[in-house]
Structure 1
Amino acid sequence: MRLVIARCSVDYVGKLTAHLPMAPRLILIKADSSVSIHADDRAFKPLNWMNPPCKLREEDGTWTVTHGKTGEKLVLTMEEIIHDSSHELGVDPGLIKDGVEAHLQELLAEHITTLGAGWTLIRREYMTAIGPVDILCRDHTGATVAVELKRRGDIDGVEQLTRYLELLNRDPLLAPVKGVFAAQEIKPQARVLAADRGIGCVTLDYDKLRGIERNDTLF
C-alpha cells in the first residue's frame, strides 16, 4: 500500500463531474490498483475513489487515474507532496471472530425463529464483495434480512451492516433487503443510529440460545 499526503485538488471526469478544491488530503493507492482520497473526518468513507481495474499515471504536478473498463478518470492536481511512503502488507487473513461471537452465529442460525416466528435461514457467512454477512435469512413475509452479530454492539457494527445492505440491495434476486443488528449488549448510540437507518436491533441471551436456564436468585 502506498500512502501519500498531499495538498491537491481532485476532479472526477465521467458520466458526471465532481470537484474537490485544493486542500491537504490522504491518498491511498492499494495493491489491487484502487485509489481513494480521504479527508481527516468522515470515518471510513473516502471523498472520492476509483475501484479496480485502474491505472495511475504520474506527470509533473498532475496524477491521472483511469478506470480500465469505463474510461472514467480522477485527475489530481498536486500542489505539494508532504509525505509519500509504500508498505508491503501481505495477504490479509481476514476477520477472525472470537469464540463466543462465532458460537452466537451458529446458535442463532440453528434457532433463527429467535428473531421471529416463521423466519427461515438462507445461509450463514453469506459472501459479499466486502466480506461475509453473518446470517442471511427471510422473515415471515418472505423478505430478505441480513443479520450482523456482535458480542457488544456499537456504532462500528451498525456502519458495517449498512455497507452490507448497500451491496445486497443491488442484487435484484435479494432486494429489498432489511437489516437486523443483534448482540448480547447494544450501546444506546448504536440503537439510535440503527433506528435512523431503518435497521432493527435484537438483544441476544447467550445462555438461552444454548438452552441453559439461569437461576439468578440466591435462595
Structure 2
Amino acid sequence: MRLVIARCSVDYAGRLTAHLPSAPRLILVKADGSVSIHADDRAYKPLNWMSPPCTLKEGGGDGDGAENVWTVVNKGGEKLIITMEEVLHDSSHELGIDPGLIKDGVEAHLQELLADRMETLGEGWSLIRREFPTAIGPVDILGRDRDGVTVAVEIKRRGEIDGVEQLTRYLELLNRDPHLAPVKGVFAAQEIKPQARVLATDRGISCVTLDYNALRGIQDDKLRLF
C-alpha cells in the first residue's frame, strides 16, 4: 500500500463530473489497483475513488517544477485526475495477504445453514464450495442456480453498502475466470438497508432477506427473495 499526503485538487470525468478544490488530503493506492482520496473526517468513506481494475499514470506538470498530475483510468474509460501541489508524505508498505474478517457466530452459522440448504434460494440450486478463495478474500458461498449459472453469495447479518461493494469486487474477479463466468451475485442478510438494496439492484445483484429461525427449522423454511 502506498500512502501519500498532499495538497491537491481532484477532478473526476466519467458518467458525471466532479471537482474537489485544493486542500490537504490522504491518497491511498492499494495493491489491488484501487485509488481513493480521503479527508480528515467522514470516517472510512473516501471523497472520491476509482475501483479496480484501473491504471495509474504519474506525469509531470508544465515542466518547470510545477504540479505533478496523477491520472487514474478504469476499464470504462472514466478518469480521476489528481493535481499535486505539494507532497507532504509519500511512503509504501507491504501488508501481505490479509486473513480477512472473522465472522461473528450468527454470520458463520447463516453461511453454514444456507450452504446446507441451497434449495431455499431456488429450486435446483446447488453448492460448489463455501469460502471460495479469491485474490482479495474468500466468497462466502459459490453455487449454481437451476440453469447451471454460477452464483456468488455474500452473507451479512446486516446488509449495508460496504457489503455490496465487497460482493461487486468479488464478481469482477470471478467473471474473469472463463471456467466460472458468467457469475451473478446474491446479497443475503437478515436486514438490508434501503441504500444497499438500491445499489445492489443497480448493479444487477439480487437481494435476499434471511430468516435465521426459519433456516434453523424453527419457523417457515423459505427465504424472502426480492
Pairing partner for 2:202 from 196, 200, 215: 196
Displacement, 1:200? 0.6
- CA distance in 1 between counterparts of 2:33 and 2:173 reads 20
Q: Is the 8 A contact 1:37 1:49 kept in 2?
A: no
2:167 alignment partner in structure 1 = 161
1:129 alignment partner in structure 2 = 135
Are residues 37 and 181 of structure 1, via their aligned partners in 2, closer, same or farther at CA, if it must alter by over 3 Å?
closer
Aligned-residue RMSD, C-alpha: 3.6
Displacement, 1:47? 11
Displacement, 1:94? 2.2
- CA distance in 1 between counterparts of 2:164 and 2:33 reads 25
5 Å matches for 1:11-26?
26=26
- CA distance in 2 between counterparts of 1:144 and 1:46 reads 22
Query: Alignment identity in percent?
Result: 72
1:147 aligns with 2:153: yes
5 Å matches for 1:1-219?
2-7=2-7, 26-28=26-28, 37-40=35-38, 41-42=47-48, 45=51, 79-84=85-90, 92-213=98-219
TM-score w.r.t. the length of structure 2 is 0.67
3-state SS in 2 of match to 1:175: coil
Structure 1: state its 5+ residue gaps: 11-21, 51-59, 66-75, 215-219
Amino acid at match of 2:125: W
Amino acid at match of 1:190: A
3-state SS in 2 of match to 1:170: coil
What is the aligned residue count? 184
Are residues 26 and 35 of structure 1, via their aligned partners in 2, closer, same or farther at CA, if it must alter by over 3 Å?
farther
Displacement, 1:5? 1.1
Amino acid at match of 2:37: A
Residues 39-82 of structure 1 show CA distances to partners (whole Å, capped at 9, x for unaligned) of 342357489656xxxxxxxxx9899x9xxxxxxxxxx9854123
3-state SS in 1 of match to 2:133: strand
TM-score w.r.t. the length of structure 1 is 0.69
